Amino acid sequence: MLRRLETALDRDNLAQNIVFLSRAKSPRTHLNPAEATISFVVGFNGSAHSQAALDLALCVAHQTRLVKANPVLVHVVYVVDATRPKAIADADRILWQARCLASEWRGALHAHLRVGSVAGELSQVAQEVEADLLLLGCYTANHRLVNQLAEHTPCSVVGLPR
């Protein structure tokens, strides 16, 4: 998929710049591989960067649906800082925004609202849904969130290259 995207964008080094953490995917022993759901997790906070990550996730999900018979799900995760009283109202608005951005895709999109640390909650959702990929709006593999995810995330992490 990344090679096709490189060709479409006329970029030779996209695959090397977009993958911030590379993890080998554990085989799913409880399902037939042809029936296993392919899951993408997107860290979303309503920023332009996270919107771009969601756009990329939806593009990758669409391309995956074209070449695979497996069901494809995109999980949008918004993590609330429990110390902010206005955070729940913000979360509802932000997750609604993500659903609106994804409405044209017509695929399966699940919105998750979590309370806690961003890295911990993203890793937990990725583990629960057996994610194939975690997408972030970060521009560098040296971003603080990417470094925090390095210890816990069960899947590869993709960001937005400059």
Total domains in the fold of the chain: 1
User: Quick check: 77 pLDDT over 90?
Assistant: yes
pLDDT tens-digit readout, 90-114 = 777 777 776 776 666 666 788 888 9
Q: Is residue 124 part of a domain?
A: yes
Residue 81 belongs to what domain range? 46-158
pLDDT tens-digit readout, 134-155 = 999 999 999 999 999 998 899 9
Q: Is residue 26 part of a domain?
A: no
Residues present in the chain in total: 162
pTM of the entire structure? 0.84
Q: In what order do the strands lie in the sheet with 38-43?
A: 19-21, 156-158, 133-135, 38-43, 72-80, 108-115
CA dist., res. 151 & res. 6, Å (int): 29
CATH of residue 153: 3.40.50.620
Q: Is residue 37 part of a domain?
A: no
Q: Is residue 129 part of a domain?
A: yes
Q: What is the mean pLDDT of residues 32-61?
A: 88
Q: In the prediction, which pLDDT does 55 show?
A: 87
* Structure tokens given for 84: 């902010």
Q: In the prediction, which pLDDT does 106 show?
A: 62
Q: Is residue 132 part of a domain?
A: yes
Q: In the prediction, which pLDDT does 142 show?
A: 92
